[in-house]
Structure 1
């Protein structure tokens, strides 16, 4: 499958966001290139990366009062749910479905980066959000109990609004 971002068109000009984007793309490429034996493991690594990246972005959006946080978070929750379903399918040996998910995920991810992540990057620059803060926020997101708790908190917060 063709590389998602050889041109740098998905660059957000924020090193800490670009590193996360590059890691996601690297793992998605690994999924694309995996043989059937390695596909479940490669997919699980991608799901874990997405969960961590999405949780960090949620921390950043909350910390800076990002206006589009709810819409952004909803996309993350839906996509992560589908990706977790893909992990179950991979475990059951339904690898064609997982490969189709990867193909569709590639298209979604490019649009997501160019729209919601680009808006978040602009907001973070305007808020003078420093990479040092991003590291602390990322550590807080990673140190928290499993991402399920962050997602549960986000769902409870959305439903209480």
Structure 2
């Protein structure tokens, strides 16, 4: 999609749906935060940084929620899905540090399309896989209970929840 002044380069699309309502709502919020940061590019740091910080704060909680679900489902703590979360958060924090401390004011704008591309792949693979597994075992996101728990495995799942890793 090419961006025009009226059309942001970053936008929600239904290919991001996982069919897990709480996850999909959080993903829509994530994309909206990306749009808000994108709309502040070229503006002063008093406009840009609060929006960027809101994106980071949302992303911290977004990833923490998915990580809690994976822990409740028996995923290994260092599974590749959670490791992606850790890596992305480190990049988000480092980009902010470089923007503020080193004056690299172009980094946020360069990050956004890359972050959106990563997110599209992540949502369609890792998150969709997690959502499918949650549905398969009847996982209740409120209580953490499973209606159809899997047979106990000897080792926790180190994968990302999809067949792609």
Distance 1:67 1:12, change over 3 A: farther
Distance 1:45 1:58, change over 3 A: same
**Larger relative contact order, structure 1 or 2 (CA cutoff 8 Å, min sep 6):** 1
Measured in 1, the distance between the counterparts of 2:68 and 2:37 equals 27
TM-score by length of 2: 0.74
Distance 1:104 1:53, change over 3 A: same
Q: Which residue of 2 aligns with 1:5?
A: 12
Farther-moved stretch of structure 1 (18-27 vs 58-67): 58-67
How large is the Cα RMSD of the aligned pairs?
2.1
Measured in 1, the distance between the counterparts of 2:72 and 2:98 equals 35
Indicate which of 24, 30, 35 corresponds to 1:18. 24
Distance 1:53 1:21, change over 3 A: same
Farther-moved stretch of structure 1 (124-133 vs 54-63): 124-133
Measured in 1, the distance between the counterparts of 2:121 and 2:17 equals 12
Do residues 103 (structure 1) and 91 (structure 2) align? no
Do residues 65 (structure 1) and 98 (structure 2) align? no
Larger radius of gyration: 2
Q: What are the ranges of 5 or more consecutive residues in structure 2 without an aligned counterpart? A: 1-7, 145-165
TM-score by length of 1: 0.76
Q: Which residue of 1 aligns with 2:49?
A: 40
Written as runs of structure 1 = structure 2, the 5 A alignment for 1:1-161 is 1-6=8-13, 8-34=14-40, 35-37=43-45, 38-66=47-75, 70-92=79-101, 93-133=103-143
Measured in 2, the distance between the counterparts of 1:69 and 1:77 equals 10
Higher helix share: 1
CA positional deviation for 1:67: 6.9
Q: What are the ranges of 5 or more consecutive residues in structure 1 without an aligned counterpart? A: 135-161
